[in-house]
């Protein structure tokens, strides 16, 4: 599977990308949220792990931008806020498929990502990195 990790925290981004690769997946990372949609246009992706709080374009705004071109691409929000009911409702309303805390261990984050993937239908065009 091909994953994109988007987080402005370079260390956390690198750690999660490396962990996904250790599980046998292709994993790319971006720290600049303004480059996500153009990256998706050119690269196949099965799911995105997206930080909520980022400079330039915040995660909730970015979900809407992604959804315009990739309606069913699984998006798991990644946050340092812990469990926050208001934030969770906001990301769900924006179109995220899941929500996970940065405070969890990598195996729990991975499990949440796999659960989302197993419950989100996606077209072959979206899997190939092309808009539906």
Judge whether 132 lies within some domain. Answer: no
pTM: 0.84
The three-point CA angle 2-124-116 to 5° equals 55
Residue 29, strand partner residues: 5
Helix (H, G, I), strand (E, B) or coil at 32: coil
Residue 53 lies in a domain: yes
What domain range includes position 44? 2-127
SS3 at position 17: helix
**pLDDT per residue of the chain (132 residues) written in tens, 0 to 9:** 999 999 999 998 999 999 999 999 999 999 999 999 999 999 989 999 999 888 899 888 999 999 999 998 999 988 776 566 777 777 888 889 988 878 888 888 888 888 888 876 654 444 444 444
CATH number for position 26: 3.40.50.2300
Residues 36, 10, 88, 95, Cα dihedral to 10°: 10
Q: Give the count of domains, the chain.
A: 1
């Amino acid at each position: 599977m091909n994953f994109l990790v988007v987080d402005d925290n370079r260390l956390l981004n690198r750690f999660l990308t490396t962990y996904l690769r250790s599980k046998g997946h292709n994993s790319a990372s971006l720290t600049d949220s303004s480059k996500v949609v153009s990256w998706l246009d050119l690269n196949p992706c099965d799911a995105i792990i997206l930080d909520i709080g980022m400079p330039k374009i915040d995660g909730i705004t970015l979900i809407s931008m992604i959804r315009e071109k990739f309606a069913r691409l699984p998006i798991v929000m990644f946050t340092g806020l812990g469990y926050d009911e208001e934030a969770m409702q906001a990301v769900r309303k924006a179109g995220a498929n899941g929500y996970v805390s940065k405070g969890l261990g990598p195996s729990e984050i991975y499990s949440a990502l796999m659960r989302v993937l197993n419950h989100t239908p996606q077209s072959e065009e979206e899997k190939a990195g092309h808009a539906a």
